[in-house]
Amino acid sequence: MIRNPRMEVPMNLDPVNVMPWSSDWLWSLPLSVITVVIHVLGLYMIKQRFDRLLVRSSRGKMRLIALLFMGGTAVSVTLLHGLEASVWAFGFRWLHALPDKKSAMLYSLNAMTTFGHSGSNLDSHWQLMGALEALNGLILFGLTTAFLFAIIQEAWTRLDFQTPTEVPIAVGSTLP
């Protein structure tokens, strides 16, 4: 302990007391970066497959292929999120923050989806890490949502779908 000459209150310079959650941040930031990189690479691979399929497909089959592709994309991004949750679960196990692989994966999926009902809890020392995983999950789901929206927009453009605002209205007619 160091004593401040102006005050008779001892100052504790133990890093854990100064920044009690610094280890949570030190572990969470690299895990967040790793999962975002995995996610972007996974979305890029899905997009490349989308482009290849639609370029090769005939006009008559394009609607069916686009529909099936969207189903496959939903499955692919679900698996991608599972892979990213397993990265966090590995981190929790490495740190001995959770007792086994199953509880680590369950906790990780619950944190990432912000569902939060797994019944597993982290030790108080690692609780901020769970919240940071939830923040990372929001970022990943935001990327997925933006990606799915862009894919649907591109499919509609390629299929020449028109939105209701683009449908011409005959002179003298009224909207339903």
User: pLDDT tens track of the chain, all 176 residues?
Assistant: 555 555 555 555 444 554 566 788 888 999 999 999 999 999 999 999 988 887 777 767 777 888 888 899 999 999 999 999 999 999 999 999 999 999 999 999 999 998 876 677 888 888 889 999 999 999 999 999 999 999 888 888 877 754 445 545 555 555 55
Per-domain residue ranges for the chain?
22-157
Predicted TM-score (pTM) of this structure:
0.75
Q: What is the DSSP string of 79-140?
A: HHHHHHHHHHHHHHHHTT-SSSHHHHHHHHHHHHHT---SS----GGGHHHHHHHHHHHHHH
